[in-house]
Amino acid sequence: MTVNKEKLVLVGNGMAGVNAVEHLLKLAPDRYEITIFGTEPHPNYNRILLSYVLSGDSKVEDIVIHPYEWYKSNNITLYTGQTVTNIDTEAQTVTSDKGVTVSYDKLILATGSNPFIIPMPGADKEGVMAYRTIRDCEIMMESAKKYKKAIVIGGGLLGLEAARGFLNLGMKVDVVHIVDTIMERQLDRTASKMLQAALEEQGINFLLAKQSEEIIGDKRVTGLKFKDGTIAEADLIVMAVGIRPNVQLAKSSGIECNPGILVNDYLQTNIPNVYAVGECAMHRGVAYGLVAPLYEQGAVLAKHLAGVETGPYEGSIVYTKLKVSGVDVFSGGKFMDAEGTKAIRIHDEFTGVYKKVVIQDNKIIGAVLFGDTADGTRLMQMIREETDISGMAKTSILTDSSSGGAASGVADMKDDAIICGCNGVTKGTICSAIKEQSLTTVEEVKNCTTASRSCGGCKPLVSDLLAFTLGASYDKNAAKESICGCTTLSRDEVVDGIREKGLTHLREVMHVLGWTNEEGCSKCRPALNYYLGMIAPETYKDDSTSRFVNERMHANIQKDGTYSVVPRIYGGVTNPSELKRIAEVAEKFNVPTVKFTGGQRLDLLGVKKEDLTAMWEALDMPSGYAYGKALRTVKTCVGDTFCRFGTGDAMGVGIELEKRFERLNTPAKVKLAVSGCPRNCAESGIKDLGVVSVDGGWELYAGGNGGVKVRVGDLLVTVKTEAEIIEYSEAYLQYYRETGKYGERTSEWLHRLGIDHIREVVKDDEKRQALCARMETALSVLTDPWKQAIESNKIRRDLYEVVELK
Ligand SMILES: Cc1cc2nc3c(=O)[nH]c(=O)nc-3n(C[C@H](O)[C@H](O)[C@H](O)COP(=O)(O)OP(=O)(O)OC[C@H]3O[C@@H](n4cnc5c(N)ncnc54)[C@H](O)[C@@H]3O)c2cc1C
Ligand SMILES: NC(=O)c1ccc[n+]([C@@H]2O[C@H](COP(=O)([O-])OP(=O)(O)OC[C@H]3O[C@@H](n4cnc5c(N)ncnc54)[C@H](O)[C@@H]3O)[C@@H](O)[C@H]2O)c1
Ligand code: SF4
Ligand code: FES
């Protein structure tokens, strides 16, 4: 130990403080004798990645940033599990709760934040907690083994990531949010609602605009009561309603706080030689809660302490990305419309992409991206650099990420532009590493530079930098779209792998095809379940645990926790006795609302879970699959049976199509319609498959969509007979089943493959017959799920919690 070294003490072994020390060691390795205190009993770890630990994508040991050896090799004295309880700013010493006193020449406070706990009655009950540390994460994972229902209070970034984690742990989860739009601090209403829909699809239940009043239960929590008098059940409640700077130590030591520790542009507090960095610090009225700004503070602090010339820290423009697999959300800068701002918006409801860029005085000041976040880092760069966009074509500001437009953007970035905000990695560092270490993939860049190690939001830019640095030799495949974060394989590679290697169940696929997460995630598990069933319909045993909640329950869960029941009514054609039975059932089970659906079916809404199976039994009708990635409905007009314009038997054909394809699993939901003449009363033009009677035959339209983005179907083929309608429909739907990506509607699939190609396939006699044969096999094994539930004690008990049959 060198005697002349100055003594530096860091209080808080978290992300901001240790990052500043890491920088300092690079700039002035021999200047300080360093001591670090940390309350948590761990070396420095990446708090961001706790969300991945909770969701099962990482293990605790994977998220350590600096292992104990790092401290040792840098001669740092580390006191873990010790909280500094006193600072003597006169004597320049700190003392821990274990009685250790260390003197300092320079002191850095990096004590982070405390989660805010709403001070409501019952908040101290067992099973009520925050989510901030490895310990919290462990408690949540342990609880999931014993308990079934969690409530997360707070629909911000943390709350949503926690909720997703609970789903992965097999718990049911409600997210309680105070206003009616989630992540309202990061998203505008449109993006928020798109996000909510995507998360509901994954199984999260939202209770919006709800004010929590009291946590109920004896010793342990059993539920949460709201101001409106309603109660939601819970075995575990996580509060994720924001954070407060942890300033207890600073305050008691006479360091000025309001509410965070007040610092100037060099992170100095009002007390000489005492600095603050990270979430505990308050700079120009802002206390940040994300790592990128904390690392920017740390870089200035490190230079200042190393005696290296540095400009001041002038504040940060922040951006966020939600780390939930299957949804891409990005928000940065000032994203809300305000007086004097204008916005460029792309809202492609067809692909579920929403992009908004807010502009003021010819400069981009904020952005919200949903569904495709590849533009995020580039837009942030433009916001930071206050790029003048007056000379730019407005359409080029938001690029189509698949067009290569974004790739050209990195060429214009300066070397010190930050590419990975989470880990503070610049363009220069990444490009040098690519050249010097001969890196060729995003994964290699991650391992070498840490860029893309955390939220993953910068992956597209890292990929662009590889293309930019390596030119033609860059293997674009390395950046191909994998089906989820558990694998680098694309949809086609996974399906080919299953076929070639004869894989038969989920775990085998994940094991043999080298999944990085042996449990899989919410994105790949349902997809694999579909692909395996599509490839081997006769032998594959469907894994219902890999299905989303509605498909598992065979009923649509509603926002109040009840279910809706839609029985199958073929072609929308019914009769008085069936209608009477439906009416009687509705009365018997006190169904509050009965409604006609857009697909000409009857929807019984507000059904209690425990009534579902008894109701299905009383109805004695098959499931209408209103919840599934399957054939939903075949809408029909009355056709030539009654209509004087009709030239074809729309009802007859519709009923036949529905009877043939009911229960068929498809990559996404499928809706059909049959119209008796080109007046098209059944709206055949906007269905996944639309049939229209024309003079002398029938036209089949493919890839229509009447949902979020209306798309008129393309004419697939014109046929003469009703038998041909069935044959071509079978071939078309089977080709979609075999080549569609899980979750991809026919409209998107058709857009990807092209109508010419699809037409060519179904018109080829040999191919069509082979497709029809495979379709027949798939259809031959389908059974009615409602009937199964009625007849099986196990299903009734496990899923619907009803008393067993004798
Ligand atoms: C689950 C989760 C996911 C997140 N995801 C993201 C994300 O995707 N992107 C993002 O940018 N940010 C994310 N964040 C926020 C990010 O983790 C924080 O902004 C960051 O960790 C703050 O760093 P810090 O060093 O200021 O505080 P911390 O990391 O909290 O470190 C402070 C440390 O100081 C210790 N300490 C406090 N007082 C004392 C004392 N008196 N003596 C000794 N030790 C003390 C604490 O125990 C703690 O270990 C996430 C946070 C959580 C909880
Ligand atoms: N992906 C990421 O970047 C990420 C992930 C997790 C956490 N974090 C950070 O961690 C910190 C904590 O996250 P957070 O989500 O708790 O904070 P937050 O402040 O971002 O969000 C809290 C949310 O809780 C809501 N809320 C407040 N009071 C409520 C109440 N009584 N009932 C219901 N809802 C209520 C608010 O409206 C707000 O949307 C933040 O700084 C966040 O940026 C970031
Ligand atoms: S589509 Fe033609 S046949 Fe059918 S109801 Fe309308 S007008 Fe009549
Ligand atoms: S920006 Fe989050 S990992 Fe790079």
CATH number for the domain including 351? Answer: 3.30.390.30
Sign of the C-alpha dihedral, residues 114, 115, 116, 118?
negative
Determine which of 292-301, 445-454, 584-593, 661-670 has the lowest per-residue pLDDT on average: 445-454
Q: What is the pLDDT of residue 403?
A: 41
N- to C-terminal Cα distance for the chain?
80
Asked whether residue 749 is domain-assigned, the answer is yes
Regarding the beta carbon of 454 and ligand 4, being less than 6 Å apart is answered yes
Regarding the beta carbon of 277 and ligand 4, being less than 6 Å apart is answered no
Confidence of residue 642 (pLDDT cuts 50, 70, 90): very high
| 57 pLDDT more than 80 | no
Averaged over 505-520, what is the pLDDT? 88
Q: Which atom of ligand 1 is nearest to the CA of 96?
A: 42
What percentage of the chain exceeds 90 in pLDDT? 71
Q: Which atom of ligand 1 is nearest to the CA of 18?
A: 25
Q: How far apart are CA 607 and CA 609, in angstroms?
A: 6
Give nearest CA residue, ligand 3 atom 5.
Answer: 637
Q: In which residue are the tokens 């697999």 written?
A: 325
Confidence of residue 60 (pLDDT cuts 50, 70, 90): confident
Averaged over 164-181, what is the pLDDT? 94
Q: Are residues 771 and 752 in the same domain?
A: yes
> Which of 739, 728, 730 minimizes the C-alpha distance to 773?
730
Q: How many helices (H) and strands (E) does the chain have?
A: 27, 36
What letter would DSSP give residue 735? H
| 38-62 burial: b if 16+ Cβ within 10 Å, else e | bbbebbbbbbbbbbbbbbbbbeeee
Q: Which ligand is nearest to the CA of 246?
A: 1
Q: Which amino acid is at 629?
A: K
Q: Classify burial at 341, counting beta carbons within 10 Å of its beta carbon; exposed 0-12, middle 13-18, buried 19 or more.
A: middle
Determine which of 325-334, 372-381, 582-591 has the lowest per-residue pLDDT on average: 372-381
Q: What is the pLDDT of residue 437?
A: 86
CB 240 within 8 A of CB 131: yes
Q: Which amino acid is at 584?
A: E
Domain with 437 in it: what CATH number?
A: 1.10.10.1100
Q: How many A from CA of 505 to the centre of ligand 4?
A: 34
Tell me how many domains the chain contains: 7
Q: What is the pLDDT of residue 480?
A: 60
Q: Are residues 140 and 236 in the same domain?
A: yes
**418 forms bridges with which residues in the sheet?**
426
pLDDT in tens, 650-702: 999 999 999 999 999 999 999 999 999 999 999 999 999 999 999 889 999 99
| 58 pLDDT more than 80 | no
Q: What is the pLDDT of residue 473?
A: 67
Domain with 618 in it: what CATH number?
A: 3.90.480.10
Q: How many A from CA of 650 to the centre of ligand 3?
A: 9
Q: What is the pLDDT of residue 596?
A: 95
Regarding the beta carbon of 681 and ligand 3, being less than 6 Å apart is answered yes
Q: How far apart are CA 411 and CA 469, in angstroms?
A: 9
Q: How many A from CA of 425 to the centre of ligand 4?
A: 9
Q: How many A from CA of 390 to the centre of ligand 2?
A: 36
Asked whether residue 792 is domain-assigned, the answer is no
CB 653 within 8 A of CB 674: yes
Structure tokens that stand for 348 in this block: 């492609």
pLDDT in tens, 27-41: 999 999 999 999 999
**Domain boundary residue, one of 224, 244, 264:** 244
pLDDT in tens, 696-742: 899 999 999 997 778 999 999 999 999 999 999 999 999 999 999 99
Domain with 137 in it: what CATH number?
A: 3.50.50.60
Q: How far apart are CA 730 and CA 338, in angstroms?
A: 52
Q: Which residues make up each annotated binding site for siroheme?
A: 681
Average pLDDT, rounded, for the chain: 91
Averaged over 612-629, what is the pLDDT? 94
Q: Are residues 554 and 540 in the same domain?
A: no
- Residue 43: which H helix or E strand, with range? none
Q: Are residues 731 and 658 in the same domain?
A: yes
Q: How far apart are CA 762 and CA 750, in angstroms?
A: 13
Q: Are residues 525 and 543 in the same domain?
A: yes
Averaged over 59-65, what is the pLDDT? 85
pLDDT in tens, 219-229: 999 999 999 99
Sign of the C-alpha dihedral, residues 763, 764, 769, 771?
negative
pLDDT in tens, 312-351: 999 998 889 888 867 889 999 999 989 999 999 988 887 7
Domain with 713 in it: what CATH number?
A: 3.30.413.10
Regarding the beta carbon of 449 and ligand 4, being less than 6 Å apart is answered no
Regarding the beta carbon of 139 and ligand 3, being less than 6 Å apart is answered no
Regarding the beta carbon of 278 and ligand 2, being less than 6 Å apart is answered no
Helix axes 722-739, 746-753, angle to 10 degrees: 80
Q: Which amino acid is at 667?
A: P
Q: How far apart are CA 320 and CA 568, in angstroms?
A: 44
Q: Are residues 582 and 634 in the same domain?
A: no
Q: Which residues contact 702 (CB under 8 A, 6 or more apart)?
A: 688, 689, 713, 714, 715, 716, 732, 746, 750, 755, 758
**Domain boundary residue, one of 282, 306, 330:** 306
Confidence of residue 475 (pLDDT cuts 50, 70, 90): low
Regarding the beta carbon of 677 and ligand 3, being less than 6 Å apart is answered yes
Regarding the beta carbon of 692 and ligand 3, being less than 6 Å apart is answered no
Q: Which ligand is nearest to the CA of 459?
A: 4
CB 458 within 8 A of CB 377: yes
**231 forms bridges with which residues in the sheet?**
225
Asked whether residue 799 is domain-assigned, the answer is no
Q: What is the pLDDT of residue 806?
A: 40
Q: What is the pLDDT of residue 476?
A: 53
> Which of 639, 666, 643 minimizes the C-alpha distance to 653?
639
Regarding the beta carbon of 460 and ligand 4, being less than 6 Å apart is answered no
Asked whether residue 803 is domain-assigned, the answer is no
Q: Are residues 55 and 19 in the same domain?
A: yes
Q: How many A from CA of 746 to the centre of ligand 3?
A: 25
Q: Which residues contact 805 (CB under 8 A, 6 or more apart)?
A: 793, 796
Q: What is the pLDDT of residue 395?
A: 67
Regarding the beta carbon of 246 and ligand 4, being less than 6 Å apart is answered no
CB 371 within 8 A of CB 353: yes
Q: Are residues 107 and 121 in the same domain?
A: no
Q: How many A from CA of 385 to the centre of ligand 4?
A: 19
Q: Which atom of ligand 2 is nearest to the CA of 157?
A: 15
Q: Which atom of ligand 2 is nearest to the CA of 186?
A: 20
**Domain boundary residue, one of 306, 327, 356:** 306
Q: How many A from CA of 487 to the centre of ligand 1?
A: 29
Q: How far apart are CA 280 and CA 215, in angstroms?
A: 29
Residue 253 vs residue 386, higher pLDDT: 253
Q: How far apart are CA 786 and CA 792, in angstroms?
A: 10
Regarding the beta carbon of 639 and ligand 3, being less than 6 Å apart is answered yes
| 550 pLDDT more than 60 | yes
Residue 137 vs residue 388, higher pLDDT: 137
Averaged over 428-448, what is the pLDDT? 87
Residue 801 vs residue 216, higher pLDDT: 216
Structure tokens that stand for 234 in this block: 């819970």
The whole-angstrom distance between residue 320's C-alpha and the CA centroid of its chain comes to: 13
Q: Which residues make up each annotated binding site for [4Fe-4S] cluster?
A: 637, 643, 677, 681
Sign of the C-alpha dihedral, residues 84, 89, 93, 98?
negative
Q: What is the pLDDT of residue 409?
A: 66
Q: Which atom of ligand 2 is nearest to the CA of 322?
A: 1
Structure tokens that stand for 442 in this block: 């995003």
* Pocket-testing residue among 636, 637, 684, 698, ligand 3, by greatest number of atoms within 8 A of Cβ: 637
Strand order in the sheet with 149-153: 128-130, 236-239, 149-153, 172-176, 205-207
pLDDT in tens, 383-406: 988 888 888 877 677 764 444 444
The per-residue DSSP string of 684-713 comes to GGGSSEEEEEETTEEEEEES-B-SSS-BPP
Averaged over 477-502, what is the pLDDT? 82
Regarding the beta carbon of 452 and ligand 4, being less than 6 Å apart is answered yes
Give nearest CA residue, ligand 1 atom 38.
Answer: 111
Give the count of beta carbons closer than 10 Å to the beta carbon of residue 697: 16
Q: Are residues 726 and 757 in the same domain?
A: yes
Q: Are residues 776 and 666 in the same domain?
A: yes
Confidence of residue 804 (pLDDT cuts 50, 70, 90): very low
Averaged over 10-19, what is the pLDDT? 97
Q: How many A from CA of 182 to the centre of ligand 2?
A: 10
Q: How many A from CA of 457 to the centre of ligand 2?
A: 19
| Bond preceding residue 259 cis, omega within 30 of 0 | yes
Q: Which atom of ligand 1 is nearest to the CA of 17?
A: 25
Regarding the beta carbon of 15 and ligand 1, being less than 6 Å apart is answered yes
Note the helical H segments in 203-254. 248-252
Q: Are residues 653 and 749 in the same domain?
A: yes
Structure tokens that stand for 371 in this block: 């569904």
Q: How far apart are CA 109 and CA 190, in angstroms?
A: 40
Q: What is the pLDDT of residue 519?
A: 79
Pairing of strands 418-420, 363-370: unpaired
Ramachandran quadrant class, 735 (left: phi over 0; alpha: psi -120 to 50; beta: rest): alpha
Q: Are residues 672 and 756 in the same domain?
A: yes
Q: What is the pLDDT of residue 2?
A: 46
Asked whether residue 327 is domain-assigned, the answer is yes
Q: Which residues contact 90 (CB under 8 A, 6 or more apart)?
A: none
Q: How far apart are CA 45 and CA 14, in angstroms?
A: 7
Asked whether residue 788 is domain-assigned, the answer is no
Asked whether residue 381 is domain-assigned, the answer is yes
Asked whether residue 569 is domain-assigned, the answer is yes
pLDDT in tens, 68-102: 999 999 999 999 999 999 999 999 999 999 999 99
- Domain holding 105, by residue range, is 6-112+246-306
ipTM of the complex: 0.92
